[in-house]
Amino acid sequence: MHFPRQLLLSLLLLGLIACPVQAAKDPDPAQVTIAVASLLEQVHYSKQRLNKDVSRRLLRNYLEVLDYSHVFFTSEDVEEMTAKWADNLHEELIFGRTKAAQEIHDLFRKRAQERIALVKEILDGDVDFSKDRMVELNRQKAPWAAAGEPIKQLWTDRITSELIQERLNKKSGAKDAKKKAPETIAEKKPMDPVSVVRRRYNQFSKDIQEQDSEEVVKLFLLSLARTYDPHSDYMSKSDQEQFNISMRLSLFGIGARLRSEDGFTKIDQLIPGGPASRGGKVKAGDRIVAVAQGPAEFVDCVDMKLDKVVAMIRGEKDTLVRLQLIPVSATNGSERVEVEIKRDEIKLKEGEAHAELIEWTGTDGQKRKLGFIELPSFYRDFSQNGKEDIKSTTKDVRLLLGRLKEEGIDGLIMDFRRDGGGSLEEAINLTGLFIKDGPVVQIKNWNGEVSVSKDTDPTLFYDGPMTVLVNRQSASASEIFAAAMQDYGRAVIVGDSKTFGKGTVQQMIELARAVPALANGAQAGAVKLTIQKFYRIAGGSTQLRGVESDIVLPSTSDQAEIGESALKDPLPYDTIKAQDFEKWARPLFVDELRKLALQRVPLNPEFAYVQEDLQRIRKYVDENKVSINEAVRKEELDKDKARKEKREAERKARPHTQEPTAYRITLDNAAKKELAAFTFVEPKTDKELEAEADAPPKDTSKETDKEKAKEAEELAALKIPPFRYDSVKEESFNILSDLIRFTEGGTTAHKFR
């Protein structure tokens, strides 16, 4: 019997066409598949029909979810699966069939076991570490190798490279072990490189075998959601629960959000003020290769499931966890660093907006009071909506800015670097502090309807000279604010060439609520769907293009690999009709400011280091290869170490200008009569950090000692590295000083509100 397509989908969703219902508590995968597919087709912003194009992209995504580096399947496997499934996966979805997902995963499991058997064969043989060969680092765009000798050679080179990494790491690790207390690591005999790699693949084999049918369907539906755009997701019930755990980990563990990428657990984001961020040795983008509980032996976690890595890192407050990391700055996969972190409950207030009052001497010799507000995110406590004392970004910034105004600032910098966004309402309200009134952002629904969000309060809270700092990690709400400031001509945008480019809005939909007839729907999970797009009031979308800076400064984050355009299947950039709005009356002198900044940049040695690093990173990414000759790899590591030591020596030898007087303003001290100046401190060298780690712990058993220790810790939190180590921040103050000078015509008689 033939059904019209939309009627068929509706009947299936309502449960009028019977599907076998499992007796267990797990929902029927057929019903879940139908529900997810239908919601994507009917609710997603693109309104993309399930068709052959979706089918082909879904197959591509699913294969890469299983085999990201193109090392398990063969080219013959991919050709066979393409011929069988590429043009009809959409039909499987419509009828809730998961045969393709299971069949492809079964083949993946088979190939994985074959590759692991090959790994053991290679490890049992004689490995040549003097080959004059290269291996690709990122194989995502590489073709799958053919069966037989090509796939065997690929894995021989891959394992040789991994062994070299471990051999070089073992040499540096032995040095570190000697510096540790004898009751911790020195007594433990480190595993040899072959055993480390063998255990890694044994763990991977175990993880593959543990994947059940729920996991398979989840990966398939996740691949389907990502076919529509990179921010749409499917989460099974267990994923939702683990997601909540990982969020609590971010707030009550080491303070890091983690994600799985190419076999590694990657630090996606550091929570401001969390244990991982306090020491300064852990960076976003670092990859975790092993975890140890206190003095215990490291457990290799390469190719380990994310939830297992999270479980190892999570722990009780005040307990120690040690991480072995590949730094994000490493150009050689053999480089390892070890970090010890005390787990703690993160004080959320440390992630709030905070400010600095800087007495800055510009390049014209004139001293000015400058305000600096850093915003980690656009937060808002939605559970308190309707209450006067609601926690919100705008409220907090108003308080901080109010104190800065009391101190008589001549200009203001808003820092949105690394601000991934948050509440749209807060982005609109915050914009309202700096303009009289008018449109802030346009929002378009899937059906083409456009709504305009406006600031309706004619009150202008601050009207002084202003710059906004951004980088490629500034996304979503950050981009809305920056775009409005740029369109109104209200502030100069400074930083990376552009922001992230996420101009879409997502909504979480629980399947149990969307499809009440779904059997055991409470266990069915949820879908996160893109439902709207953002547009600037000037008409252009922030999608893909982001917000381009008026003045671009060198930054290691300014890379094409960071941003929406680097993701698969992003929604396109487009434009809509511009809104009428009244531009800011005062000029911003952007051309003049840019000219002066570009004259100063080459004179700053820190910018020279950044440019050098960018060239190395670019070369590294473009070549996408690493030698499997151990001597060559060792030479590369030695060069990296020598370069770091040379820079440290140059910094120490360089005559330092006196740091400006600075005051930290928080929500806790903003109302205090007197502000205490904070001290800039030099970042500690590796040797200093090692000496500090080896020092005996201080006795804080007495209550008075505990109080003193706590006070010292709070004071230490106010100490930040010198401006010269944040070259972008330093130059932004010079730019703001120039803007003030141009705005006031060389005088400082006028004080802004």
Give the three-state DSSP class for 7: helix
d(CA 272, CA 347): 9
User: Which pLDDT value is given to residue 411?
Assistant: 98
Query: Residues 4, 8, 14, 20: is their CA dihedral positive or negative?
Result: positive
User: Which pLDDT value is given to residue 386?
Assistant: 62
Confirm whether 239 is a catalytic residue: no
Contact 291, 313 (CB under 8 A): yes
Q: Which of 281, 502, 533, 729 is catalytic?
A: 502
Confirm whether 719 is a catalytic residue: no
- Taking the whole predicted model, whether its pTM rises above 0.95 is answered as no
Confirm whether 487 is a catalytic residue: yes
- Is domain 352-503+541-667+721-744 classified as CATH 3.90.226.10? yes
681-699 pLDDT tens trace: 776 665 665 565 555 545 5
CATH fold for the domain made of 240-342: Pdz3 Domain (2.30.42)
Torsion angle defined by CA atoms of residues 110, 114, 119 and 122, in that order, rounded to the nearest 10 degrees: 180
- DSSP secondary structure letter of residue 422: B
Give the three-state DSSP class for 536: coil
- What are φ and ψ of residue 615, in 5° steps? -65, -40
Structure tokens at 681: 């401190």
Give the three-state DSSP class for 302: coil
Q: Which of 487, 496, 640, 738 is catalytic?
A: 487
394-441 pLDDT tens trace: 999 999 999 999 999 999 999 999 898 888 999 999 999 999 999 999
- DSSP secondary structure letter of residue 660: P
Spans in the chain with pLDDT lower than 50: 1-4, 7-24, 172-188, 243-251, 697, 700-701, 703, 708, 710-712, 715, 746-750
User: Which pLDDT value is given to residue 382?
Assistant: 65
d(CA 710, CA 695): 19
Q: Which of 476, 541, 727, 732 is catalytic?
A: 476
> What is the domain partition of the chain in residue ranges?
5-232, 240-342, 352-503+541-667+721-744, 682-717
